[in-house]
Chain A
Amino acid sequence: MTTLEDDIRRVFAQVWALEKGSAAPELLPETVLLETGLDSLGFAIFVSSLEEALGYDPFTLSQDAYYPQTFADFVQFYDRYRPKP
């Protein structure tokens, strides 16, 4: 769980640096992702970069549409769809 969360933080920081050219804000469990300042396009690039890094995209895998609001929701969502070894 910690590893996945770390991976997500790392990719978020990379996308943020590329899009905003600055250090990414701290992601607390209760941080609302929309309020971080990443817009739709930035968020799309974040999800796509995560797919490249992790090898899966839970938004595409999930049968029901779900839009995580907080960072904790987001990590949990990725954990739920993590490919089982």
Chain B
Amino acid sequence: MTPLACQIAAGATEALLSGPGGREVDADSLRGTGCAAGPGSGLDPAARVALYLKDPLEVIRALVALDGQVAALLLLSQGLSAATAGQLARAAGCTILLCDEAPQEGDADAEGGAPLRRTPAAVLAPHRRAEPPAASVATQWLMTTSGTTGLPKIVPHTLATLARSVVRLRPGMAGSIPGSVAGGMPIWGLLYDPTRFAGLQVVLQALIGGGRLVAVDTSLPLAAQVAALAAAGVTHLSATPTLWRRILMVPDHGRIPLAQATLGGEIADQPTLAAVRAAFPAARLTHIYASTEAGVGFSVTDGLAGFPLSWLDAPPGPVRLRLHDGILWLRPPVTALTPGQTPGQTLGQTLGQPPGVEIDAEGYVRSGDRVEIAGGRVLFLGRENGLINIGGVKVYPETVEAVVKAVPGVALVQVSGKRSPVTGALVVAEVQLAPGADPETVRLAVQAACRARLEREAVPAIIRFVAGFATNAAGKLMRTG
């Protein structure tokens, strides 16, 4: 497999990356970034390296320097606490944790099984290699799932599976690539975390596909981020529907000279698609559907929610689609599998589906996404397991219910999602009070308990008191919606 350093698009502009604070990295310097291998460095082909870095440019430099050189790269988000990051690094068998701070005197660096802490300055060597070396190792890329139930899961990928949807652009191809800029290459804006699936897609598209990547400081107010994107002349931008709706509330959003607007990570509804189209009439509008279960996805570019019903018979790409029980099933392309193996045997290992994924005899994978047919479209309704997506943050009702149930005065609780025109959904808790309990006291106690134990998105935005619940034949609360 060709390492990432060798795949950086030829003809990439001098300033390939620009990051927070105006820092720039040119293509040659990025290609030439090596790692300080050698005796005692711990960086050998058997090394497993966890990346836990704040600056998106450092994440990208580390990925380029280490792909093909080490056995595994674990991408950890800054959204994870240091303790969780350490736990995940250990779970993935990492030998090195690349982070912003070197170990302090007295840190338990040699604690049993703990990875060695290293900073990029100690590990990444600028211009160390004259030309990128041939791949010595097929590096495993380990991504983590987002979610609020316990420790995030580690999902193994390879650069090939992650870069499968990258489109390789050439200057002058503008006419044939929808959404590309006449005469020039795209300037990609990065608002996502580069260690997450969606952000990494943007990074790989820019590096391999060609163009320039502008990473903004996402800790700044959104108006400042939008101003930075506009000043950098960003032409291609990908964000969740929730973030798009927020961008549209920034008065100067129209100054971003967009040729391509992409929505992903949540269901893109018609009002949001229409609003983005109206705000950026010159831009091509795409919404992305991705299934973690099937390890694949597809994009829709006609500006309408869902996808055309005709795709069930004639899919536009290599992924085959089928509806069964009101659920979308997808059959990944055979090319994604190891030759000589059947889909049923290899899907789990090759694409890293979470365990328990259902695959039928023909190789279709149950996505868990509920759909309905209306007006010649297949529209997405939500997750069959009740998972609530609040602006891209996924919350399991059971996690919230477990916290609410423990509050004195709560007899029964059912948590569900309520549609929100701002964040897609909000968490609603319906509570049946214990005899004699005071509603206002319980409301405050539920809010306090949830704030203390759950992330913000998972805290019920609405608490309703109900007289009782419907139960099914097994006596379980029925989950609807």
Contact = CB atoms under 8 A, between A and B. Distances in A.
Nearest to B245: A67
A18 B186 CA distance: 43
B271 A40 contact: no
Interface string B227-250: 000000000000000110110111
Given A32-B251, A65-B272, A69-B251, A40 B421 contact: no
B134 to A, nearest CB: 46
Interface string B63-106: 00000000000000000000000000000000000000000000
A interface, how many residues as a size bin? Answer: 20 to 34
A4 interface: no
Interface in B421-454: 421-423, 426, 447
A44 B423 contact: yes
Nearest to A74: B249
B146 to A, nearest CB: 16
B223 interface: yes
B421 A45 contact: no
B418 interface: yes
Nearest to B273: A65
Interface residues of B, number: 30
Contact of A34 (B223, B243, B390, B461): B223
Contact of A59 (B222, B422, B456, B461): B422
Given A48-B461, A65-B275, A34 B246 contact: yes
Interface of B: 221-223, 242-243, 245-246, 248-251, 271-272, 274-275, 278, 390-391, 418-423, 426, 447, 456-457, 461-462
Interface of A: 18, 32-35, 40-41, 43-45, 47-48, 52, 57, 59-60, 62, 64-69
Given A34-B222, A45-B461, 7 more contacts: A34-B223, A40-B246, A41-B391, A41-B423, A43-B246, A48-B420, A48-B462
9 contacts: A40-B243, A41-B390, A44-B391, A45-B461, A47-B420, A48-B420, A59-B421, A62-B271, A64-B275
